[in-house]
């Protein structure tokens, strides 16, 4: 028996609904249809009246969830695609993120963002929005890269009193499987050493974790030992684990699927240069998607995002410095 990344998200929502009557799910087509990717399949039958279809209005969806949270509920909001969350951006960053700091009233909403690219998805259905939301104080931004984290971190997101932006990667929905759901987990905000090493550190998150691990595996054939750090949560970010890894290896490559301007990889490098410059044996490097809208054609898309071969090339350059 195995369980996919998508099924883990569904199971986490089912458990959250079963454990807490204040939890409900709201979003477009999440009811009888089961969601655009079937992350809520059959949940409306199992929990009548608590998995609710919304009109096509991301702004209104998030706004109503904030109101419900103020009244004591713990809503899970599904955006069909992370790209469309920009329509609800004002509600997320100006209202949800600031509510506690303005009023001391908590805002326990979870906004699920199906994120990242897939073959043929193009510029409107492929974006990674985590850097935008991580920019704003008051939001927690989770980026699970494993089946186990997809399950345990979503449950933690629902339980946290702060608003959480949960960036689940669409490419992992069906490509990633585990033998079973976890019984325990690292807390949000704690990074994980996904692969130990001594020659260079890759800091990454979400689907790029698997490209990084594949790159590290290839370089192992040349006797290089690459350490891979999975951030898991990009806001807050686990600077201590990053610095400890760079202290072991002396070299840093930050890898993300998002656009290159600013963002999580820039933040990682800024923190290492500021707080651990003496640990570096070479200038830190980063690898992101190209600075263009995301192309439809599969071949162009494959060239647009970081891949294991591109990471290998970047690492070989870093190791020569």
Catalytic sites, residue numbers: 58, 125
> Hey, what are 251's tokens?
């070299």
Strand partners, 230: 192, 204
Q: How many helices (H) and strands (E) does the chain have?
A: 13, 14
Q: What is the rounded distance in angstroms from the CA atom of residue 49 to the CA atom of residue 74?
A: 15
Provide the strand spans (E) within the chain.
3-4, 23-27, 51-53, 74-78, 110-115, 140-142, 164-169, 177-178, 192-195, 200-204, 226-230, 233-235, 252-255, 285-287
Q: Taking the alpha carbons of 35, 39, 43, 48 in that order, is the dihedral positive or negative?
A: negative
Q: What is the DSSP letter of 185?
A: -
Q: What is the rounded distance in angstroms from the CA atom of residue 5 to the CA atom of residue 11?
A: 10
> Hey, what are 126's tokens?
């492929």
């Amino acid at each position: 028996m195995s369980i996919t990344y998508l099924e883990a998200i569904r199971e986490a929502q089912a458990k959250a609904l079963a454990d807490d009557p204040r939890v409900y799910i709201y979003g477009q087509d999440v009811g009888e249809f089961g969601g655009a990717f079937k992350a809520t399949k059959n949940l409306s039958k199992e929990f009548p009246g608590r998995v609710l279809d919304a009109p096509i209005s991301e702004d209104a969806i998030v706004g109503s969830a904030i109101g419900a949270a103020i009244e004591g509920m713990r809503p899970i909001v599904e955006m069909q695609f992370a790209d469309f969350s920009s329509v609800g951006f004002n509600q997320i960053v100006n209202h949800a993120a600031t509510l506690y700091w303005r009023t001391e009233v908590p805002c326990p909403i979870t906004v699920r963002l199906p994120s990242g690219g897939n073959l043929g998805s193009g510029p409107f259905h492929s974006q990674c929005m985590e850097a935008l939301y991580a920019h704003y104080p008051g939001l927690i931004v989770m980026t699970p890269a494993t089946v186990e984290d997809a399950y345990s971190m979503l449950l933690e997101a629902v339980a946290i009193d702060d608003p959480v932006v949960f960036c689940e990667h669409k490419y992992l929905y069906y490509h990633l499987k585990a033998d079973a759901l976890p019984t325990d987990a690292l807390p949000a905000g704690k990074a994980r050493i996904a692969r130990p090493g001594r020659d260079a550190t890759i800091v990454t998150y979400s689907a790029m974790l698997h490209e990084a691990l594949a790159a590290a595996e290839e370089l192992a054939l040349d006797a290089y030992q690459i350490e891979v750090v999975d951030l898991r949560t990009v806001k807050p970010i686990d600077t201590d684990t990053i610095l400890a890894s760079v202290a072991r290896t002396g070299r840093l490559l930050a890898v993300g699927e998002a656009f290159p301007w600013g963002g999580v990889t820039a933040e990682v490098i800024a923190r290492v240069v500021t707080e651990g410059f003496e640990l570096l044996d070479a200038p830190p490097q980063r690898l992101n998607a190209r600075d263009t809208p995301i192309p439809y054609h599969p071949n162009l898309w494959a060239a647009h995002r970081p891949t294991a071969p591109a990471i290998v090339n970047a690492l070989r350059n870093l190791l020569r410095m």
